[in-house]
Amino acid sequence: MGRAFRIYLAGESVLICRQCGNHLAVSEGVMSKQFTGQHGRALLVQQVVNTYTGDAEDRDMRTGRHTVRDVFCRVCHTTLGWKYDFAFEHDQKYKEGKFILEREMITEKPESKRDLGRPRIEEVPVRELLARV
């Protein structure tokens, strides 16, 4: 397979895995925040990266029957949510191919101050580092 890099994202804010910090999606890709998952609030997002999916299964949900797959973090293998493969109800078709990320499993990393000039490298004071250890 060779060595593939993980994907790094940049957006208004980046949704990362709460467990390992793996980049998953950007906030621009969030379609709805009104979803509910197994652990409470969840997001419907258009695309996720650095994940893999499990086997397809049919689940009966509040909005009807769907064929879904669980979505796992590729780095720490946590279950993050699921992916909609197929919606049985016609008015739920828009979810097909989209992903649910559970709020509980992710955090949001806001974009740092934007500096369009040349990036600067700063040295971290060693004392601060040692205090952290």
The nearest distance, CB 104 to another protein, in angstroms, is: 22
Give the number of residues written for the chain. 133
Residue 36 and residue 79: Cα distance in Å, rounded? 15
Among 40, 62, 119, 131, indicate the residue that binds another protein (CB under 8 A): 119
Q: Are 83 and 45 in contact (CB under 8 A)?
A: no
Nearer to another protein, 6 or 39 (CB): 6
First to last CA, the chain: 36
Among 40, 55, 62, 114, indicate the residue that binds another protein (CB under 8 A): 114
Q: Are 106 and 41 in contact (CB under 8 A)?
A: no
Q: Tell me which residues in 52-81 interact with another protein (CB under 8 A).
A: 52-53
How many CB atoms lie under 10 A from the CB of residue 50? Answer: 19
Nearer to another protein, 29 or 81 (CB): 29
Q: Residue 47 corresponds to which tokens in the numbers above?
A: 């695309």
The nearest distance, CB 42 to another protein, in angstroms, is: 15
Residue 86 and residue 82: Cα distance in Å, rounded? 12
Binding pattern for the stretch 9-48 against another protein, x by CB under 8 A and - elsewhere: xxxx--------x----x-xx-xx-------------xxx
Binding site residues, another protein, CB under 8 A? 1-12, 21, 26, 28-29, 31-32, 46-49, 51-53, 93-94, 97, 111-112, 114, 118-124, 126, 129, 133
